[in-house]
Amino acid sequence: MVDLTEEERAAITATMKRVALLMDEIGWATSLADLTEVQVRALIEEAVEGFREAMSDIAKANAPEVPF
């Protein structure tokens, strides 16, 4: 098990929401084995991009303000 930071946990939560929206389009009753390559790729891309964006947003929010 990986020891995640609080920021990483928050990013995962934000990512889950994005992946869930895509799963709404695909259909929650669709089993993993029935997903097409395009659908699997879309889910992975959404997860990776969502995590990256969330971590970036968290880093910006935690960055000290430049005084000039």
Q: What is the pLDDT of residue 46?
A: 96
Q: What is the pLDDT of residue 25?
A: 96
1 pLDDT higher than 80: no
Give every CB contact of residue 20 below 8 A, 6+ residues apart in sequence.
none
pTM: 0.81
Confidence of residue 37 (pLDDT cuts 50, 70, 90): very high
**CA distance linking residue 60 with residue 52, whole number of Å:** 12
pLDDT, the chain, mean: 93
Give every CB contact of residue 59 below 8 A, 6+ residues apart in sequence.
7
Residue bearing tokens 């935690």: 62
Confidence of residue 63 (pLDDT cuts 50, 70, 90): confident
Provide mean pLDDT across the span 34-60. Answer: 96
Q: Give domain limits for the chain.
A: 6-61
